[in-house]
Amino acid sequence: MSLARLMEPDRRWMKKALREAERAYRVGEVPVGAVVVQDGILVGRGHNQVEQLNDPTAHAEMIAITAACDTLGSKQLTDCTLYVTLEPCPMCAGAIVWARLPRLVFGAFDEKAGAASTLYNIPRDQRLNHQVEIVSGVEEEAAAGLLRDFFREGRER
């Protein structure tokens, strides 16, 4: 089986996360979106709501993880995958570890705050009691393009 075919489910779910990022974009939030999937079923979704909620913790990942925990009635997401359009920051990377997510798939790399490979690698840190499989760069161009457009428009205003 080809690599492209193996990655098809990841790309399909990342496109759902991209739709969440577009929702954030439309309301003036940094366009990051996330979905949590268990056995091929979406159990949590979120997009950045930092400005809307006046809450620095209202990142897409945090909202999607909270929604998934609520849906599943558990604080641990041991058989789920988190798809997020931008590499998680340290706060979100820590939440991924604490939620015991076994797998993280992200789109664009974050050179200023990335904590899943770029600046730090919290989900893979062997000193912690849980490590996460990481797949990066899925739909990277689409995710990075949304961010570039958002910040370009902001500079033009």
Q: Tens of pLDDT along 76-92?
A: 999 999 999 999 999 99
Dist. CA 130–CA 93, nearest whole Å: 12
Residues sharing a CB contact under 8 Å with residue 59, sequence separation 6 or more, in sequence order: 32, 46, 48, 50, 88, 89, 91, 92
User: Active-site positions?
Assistant: 61
Quickly state the pLDDT bin for 13 (edges 50, 70, 90): very high
What average pLDDT does the structure give for the chain? 95
Handedness of CA 144, 4, 63, 47 (dihedral sign): positive
The answer, yes or no, to whether residue 6 has pLDDT greater than 60, is: no
Of 59, 12, 16, the C-alpha closest to 35 is 16
Dist. CA 125–CA 80, nearest whole Å: 20
Q: What is the mean pLDDT of residues 83-108?
A: 98
pLDDT of residue 44: 98
pLDDT of residue 72: 98
In the 8-state DSSP scheme, what is residue 114? -
pTM of the model: 0.95
Q: Are strands 133-136 and 103-108 parallel, antiparallel or unpaired?
A: parallel
pLDDT of residue 4: 57
In the 8-state DSSP scheme, what is residue 95? H
Q: What is the mean pLDDT of residues 24-51?
A: 98
Quickly state the pLDDT bin for 146 (edges 50, 70, 90): very high
Q: What is the mean pLDDT of residues 106-123?
A: 97
pLDDT of residue 155: 79
Residues sharing a CB contact under 8 Å with residue 55, sequence separation 6 or more, in sequence order: 49
Going along the chain, which residue ranges are E strands? 33-38, 41-47, 80-86, 103-108, 133-136
pLDDT of residue 136: 97
